[in-house]
Structure 1
């Protein structure tokens, strides 16, 4: 089984914010593959199903972003998951343009507190991840205010395109094609012509 975890903050006040794109992708996958993410295991909402012939567990940690690792550690231990090959984490990245993807097999937290906590709790930084760009923080803006803010209508459309690419990338990663996914998606996507 493959755990696909999207990072975000629970409660309605955070819905649709930049910091919750991981939750948004999990919701989109759940909708597209008819998986109900309404079960609870430990400190997470979960849903079991199939994507591309692979058994998956869709996960939305309910610990708040900065403690995401505590929730994931419980699930990794319970399901005896090999982080390097059976865990995929999806989250927001302010260093990427809106809707852009960056796929990695391992790496540092890059300043992302949710990933920092996952690395600390799992004791490794070797696990696949899909970062989805939410755009750079404007100068003189507080980082927390920015990531907890909402997208403009134009940015929301770019994010929807990014979520479609993330769906395709998830399928490739589940099929063991992470290198191909990196080659395809770790480059700048040109905006669609008007």
Structure 2
């Protein structure tokens, strides 16, 4: 149980952003904290975080407080402080390229259009880490992307996104407990 896993949900701090599409990564971390009785009460590394155990492994649950575009600073600080390999981080974030409520588990890959992920990859100089993407769908015709990701889910979307947050939390537990391949097999077809 000596290997530390850092589970980071991307989002924006503050009440103003709490219910927005861009914050689904935070929602997953909050659900994992609740399930595993991990207190999210420590502040360091430009983040709010808590320490605990999931699937028999030591974990840090992390919510960067830098605002989305600088999320990588927090992840970089944690990696260098704990001296952990990049493969021991799991990043959870929203994805406009997936329909609302779909999740995708991947072992590595590019940031796509996501500024938070661009920041993470830039700061740690690697894209070789597992991630869980949660679909929030593309902006409707005529919407600015920034306005869209900072908007709230519609009533129709709320049930789908609630289920996606549960599935994403389950997927993180599967990555930690059974490995990335098992998690991909189980969750990428939901």
TM-score by length of 2: 0.95
Query: Match for residue 192 of structure 1?
Result: none
Counterpart CA distance in 1 for 2:35 and 2:187 is 21
The answer (yes or no) to whether the contact 1:7–1:61 under 8 Å persists in 2 is yes
Query: Match for residue 169 of structure 2?
Result: 167
Moved beyond 4 Å, runs of 4+: none
Q: RMSD over aligned Cα, in angstroms?
A: 1.0
Counterpart CA distance in 1 for 2:47 and 2:142 is 35
Q: Kindly state the Cα deviation for residue 101 of structure 1 after the two structures are TM-superposed.
A: 0.6
User: Is there any run of 5+ residues in structure 1 with no aligned partner, and where?
Assistant: 190-194
- Say which of 111, 125, 128 aligns to 1:126: 128
- Say which of 8, 13, 18 aligns to 2:11: 8
Q: Kindly state the Cα deviation for residue 154 of structure 1 after the two structures are TM-superposed.
A: 2.4
The answer (yes or no) to whether the contact 2:29–2:169 under 8 Å persists in 1 is no
Counterpart CA distance in 1 for 2:187 and 2:115 is 24
The answer (yes or no) to whether the contact 2:47–2:64 under 8 Å persists in 1 is yes
Query: Match for residue 54 of structure 1?
Result: 57
Q: Kindly state the Cα deviation for residue 176 of structure 1 after the two structures are TM-superposed.
A: 4.2
The answer (yes or no) to whether the contact 1:38–1:46 under 8 Å persists in 2 is yes
Residue-pair matches, total: 187
Q: Kindly state the Cα deviation for residue 41 of structure 1 after the two structures are TM-superposed.
A: 1.4
The answer (yes or no) to whether the contact 1:16–1:24 under 8 Å persists in 2 is no
User: Is there any run of 5+ residues in structure 2 with no aligned partner, and where?
Assistant: none
TM-score by length of 1: 0.93
Counterpart CA distance in 2 for 1:52 and 1:175 is 5
